Chains A and B, each alone.
Chain A
Amino acid sequence: MTDAAGLYRTVRLIRRFEERAIELVKDGTIVGGIHPYLGQEAIAAGTCGALRPGDVITSTHRGHGHVLAKGADPARMLAELAGRATGLNGGRGGSMHAADFSLGILGANAIVGAAVPIATGAAWAARRAGKDLVAVTYFGDGAVSQGVVLETMNLASLWKVPVVLVCENNGFATTTRVADAVAGSITGRAEAFGIPASTVDGSDPEAVLGAAREAVDRARSGGGPSFIECVAYRFDAHHTWEHSARPRYRTDDEVAVGMRRDPVALQGSRIPAADRERIDAEIEALLDEAVRFAVDSPLPDPAGALDHLYADGLRARAGVS
């Protein structure tokens, strides 16, 4: 799926998945809202395009794109967002926690920066077990101010861990601009730990794929971690609550300019119109079916609210006696 049409397919799938999910937030099917990935599709498509099935990823609160690009079933993903028993996590995780360990998706994470050491530890352990697996860990520009991310870069570099650190610089951490939160440079942080770092156009799937291939090859061949800063623009809200709350931290003009860097339009322009139309139609059909599956799926049984809390099935005491 890494030829031009394959990349288009992935970015288009993510785009339309997010747009459908936003509709389901609006009609109340998805409770709690989502952090839309619109505008950043190229990052997930390009990086996952460089991976093998056995490789692993960790994701973020804005994680739908990563999970889909790594191959998660859109229907079970939507069912998870809608809190259904058939969801990837049985309705236990929701938008910010989708995981599919059968596909190497070690989970999205709602705490900024928190997944970076998890991916790194998983990659380290796999290497010790003799597997030539690579881990990719995604995090936002906001995460580069988290101590745990810096601490992890030190470990990853010290021990040449096969992890690729993918920083999605989408311009903002919620309402805070990168320039107001990041001293020095983002890539300079990685370089300080001796990790090769590059900055790519995160709106261009092929540019991201190129950088990711180089980093993944380095990791797989024992060359240790790499850091890729992918610069893109967040088209939509930080979180869908913005659609009603409308906090003012960027102008409509700025958004309009940012949205000119459209990864879906860019990749679409690289393939024949007929292919594009065929792929679009396939994706619509797939998502129609996914929405139907999610909406028709049963809600989880409240009696099982504490299922899976412990590995050994230990039953917690109830909250009433």
Chain B
Amino acid sequence: MPILSYLKALNRALSTEMEADPSVVVFGEDVGVAVSNVTTGLLKKFGPERVVDMPISEQAFTSFATGAAMAGQRPVIEFQIPALLFLAFEQIVNQAHKFSLMTGGQVNVPVTYLLPSSGSRGGWAGQHSDHPYSLFAHVGVKTVVPATPADAYGLLLTAIRDDDPVIVFAPAGAIGVRDNVDFAALAPVPLGVGRIHRPGDDVTVVAVGHLVHDALAVAEELEGTVSVEVFDPRTLHPFDWNGLAESLERTGRLVVVDDSNRSCGIGGEILATAAEQLRLVAPPKRITRPDGAVLPFARELDLALQPTRAQIRTAIEQVAKTSYSTQTEE
């Protein structure tokens, strides 16, 4: 089967959708030259009216996209750095996200925010290394974090077609992933539907974004010792609670791996929902960044604050051998 890279998948989804729907336009910095490689070839194919290089005016062009969306366009905004979301938080959260409800449903805002290389890029320091997907899930913007090339393609397509604002994080740790893909089978992936990458009986590992690949590697290592199911929610909001419930019906044990800061991260929400409503036979665990983490520049420090495979492995082993009943016996 031919190989598709994650980056090329994003590019292909944009191209496919721009061909299919003339209202799709791309806004961003250096999107013409395609510095991030996501928009490669699009300027030539679709022209400067649809691939629009913006001045460094994120607040303006984010709400400019909202206005354009109200007037019938379907803008996709590429942001060069996840931290730019802090700059445009007002425009996304307080404007785009609120219009539908606050106008009594008179208008929708079909804008897609695309974040290529979210999370640590390795040696880019604190202002370039955040992974703020939990913030957007928290405020209620539809939030997508694809882990694989096929999902990147399918979810970006769906995000663009969706009538609400949708934010798509393409983690730096996943963007280099290449997979064998049947191009004919590439298709939109619905929001709110998780994916089991590897079935297992003992422990469900919910992994977000690039961490899916780490979870899979650890599951492989533990083959024969612990049977690990790797569940990739793909969308954080809406979240596939039913999919997770089914998995936990079988395993009853849960580990969550999440590249968010610990307090108020999506990992905490997953644990809370599981504790409240789903079947757990053992105390769950989550692996996250520390509370309030700011990733320092030096490589060793940067890595020290992100979830590691060793941590995932230890957590799985611990969760596999404890249970609420043995705990209360102790």
- Chain A residues with CB under 8 Å of chain B are 31-33, 80, 83-84, 89, 91-94, 96-97, 109-113, 142-143, 145-147, 173-176, 180-182, 247-249, 299-306, 309, 316-321
- List 6 extra interface pairs beyond A247-B35, A319-B293, CB under 8 A: A33-B123, A93-B125, A97-B126, A142-B56, A176-B29, A247-B34
Q: Are A174 and B290 in contact (CB under 8 A)?
A: no
Instruction: Please give, as numbers and ranges, the residues of chain A lying within 8 Å of B302 by CB-CB distance.
Output: 305
In angstroms, Cα B34 to Cα A318, docked, is 38
In angstroms, Cα B30 to Cα A3, docked, is 41
User: Which of chain B's residues has its CB closest to A84's CB?
Assistant: B298
Instruction: Please give, as numbers and ranges, the residues of chain B lying within 8 Å of A147 by CB-CB distance.
Output: 57, 59-60
Q: Are B55 and A91 in contact (CB under 8 A)?
A: no
Q: Are A174 and B29 in contact (CB under 8 A)?
A: yes
Shortest A148–chain B CB gap in Å is 8
Q: Are A319 and B301 in contact (CB under 8 A)?
A: no
Looking at B17-25, B67-75, B108-116, B304-312, the stretch in contact with chain A turns out to be B304-312
Partner of A93, one of B30, B56, B297: B297
Partner of B56, one of A181, A247, A248, A318: A181
Instruction: Please give, as numbers and ranges, the residues of chain B lying within 8 Å of A33 by CB-CB distance.
Output: 123
User: Which of chain B's residues has its CB closest to A302's CB?
Assistant: B304
B32 at the interface (CB under 8 A from A): yes
Q: Are B262 and A32 in contact (CB under 8 A)?
A: no
Chain A to chain B: the 7 pairs with minimum beta-carbon distance, closest first: A32-B123, A94-B297, A83-B298, A31-B123, A145-B55, A91-B298, A302-B304
Instruction: Please give, as numbers and ranges, the residues of chain B lying within 8 Å of A94 by CB-CB distance.
Output: 123-125, 297-298
Q: Are A110 and B298 in contact (CB under 8 A)?
A: no
Q: Are B33 and A248 in contact (CB under 8 A)?
A: yes
How many positions in chain B have a CB within 8 Å of any CB in the partner chain?
Answer: 51
User: Which of chain A's residues has its CB closest to B265's CB?
Assistant: A319
Interface of B is mostly: loop
**What 1/0 flags go to B59-102 for Cβ under 8 Å of A?**
11000000000000000000001011001000000000000000
- Chain B residues with CB under 8 Å of chain A are 29-30, 32-35, 53, 55-57, 59-60, 81, 83-84, 87, 121-128, 262-263, 285-294, 296-307, 311, 314-315
Partner of A319, one of B35, B307, B314: B307
In angstroms, Cα B290 to Cα A103, docked, is 33
Instruction: Please give, as numbers and ranges, the residues of chain B lying within 8 Å of A110 by CB-CB distance.
Output: 81, 83, 124-125, 127-128
Shortest B40–chain A CB gap in Å is 10
In angstroms, Cα B123 to Cα A80, docked, is 11
Shortest A238–chain B CB gap in Å is 8
Shortest A209–chain B CB gap in Å is 28
Q: Are A96 and B125 in contact (CB under 8 A)?
A: yes
User: Which of chain B's residues has its CB closest to A183's CB?
Assistant: B55
Partner of B127, one of A111, A248, A309: A111
Supposing A249-B33, A319-B305 touch, asked if A91 and B127 sit within 8 A by C-beta, the answer is: no
Q: Are A247 and B33 in contact (CB under 8 A)?
A: yes
In angstroms, Cα B302 to Cα A32, docked, is 12
Shortest A221–chain B CB gap in Å is 33
Shortest B84–chain A CB gap in Å is 8
In angstroms, Cα B122 to Cα A31, docked, is 7
A-B contact pairs, 13 of them (CB 8 A): A31-B123, A32-B125, A32-B297, A97-B127, A110-B125, A110-B128, A145-B56, A300-B296, A302-B300, A304-B301, A306-B305, A319-B307, A320-B311
Q: Are A145 and B29 in contact (CB under 8 A)?
A: no
Shortest A304–chain B CB gap in Å is 8
Shortest A93–chain B CB gap in Å is 5
Q: Are B57 and A145 in contact (CB under 8 A)?
A: yes
Q: Are B56 and A143 in contact (CB under 8 A)?
A: yes
Instruction: Please give, as numbers and ranges, the residues of chain A lying within 8 Å of B30 by CB-CB distance.
Output: 174-176, 247
Partner of B305, one of A91, A249, A305: A305
Q: Are B33 and A180 in contact (CB under 8 A)?
A: no
Q: Are B300 and A299 in contact (CB under 8 A)?
A: yes
Q: Are B298 and A92 in contact (CB under 8 A)?
A: yes
User: Which of chain B's residues has its CB closest to A80's CB?
Assistant: B297
Shortest A11–chain B CB gap in Å is 27
Shortest B23–chain A CB gap in Å is 24
Instruction: Please give, as numbers and ranges, the residues of chain B lying within 8 Å of A299 by CB-CB distance.
Output: 298, 300
Shortest A36–chain B CB gap in Å is 16
Q: Are B297 and A176 in contact (CB under 8 A)?
A: no
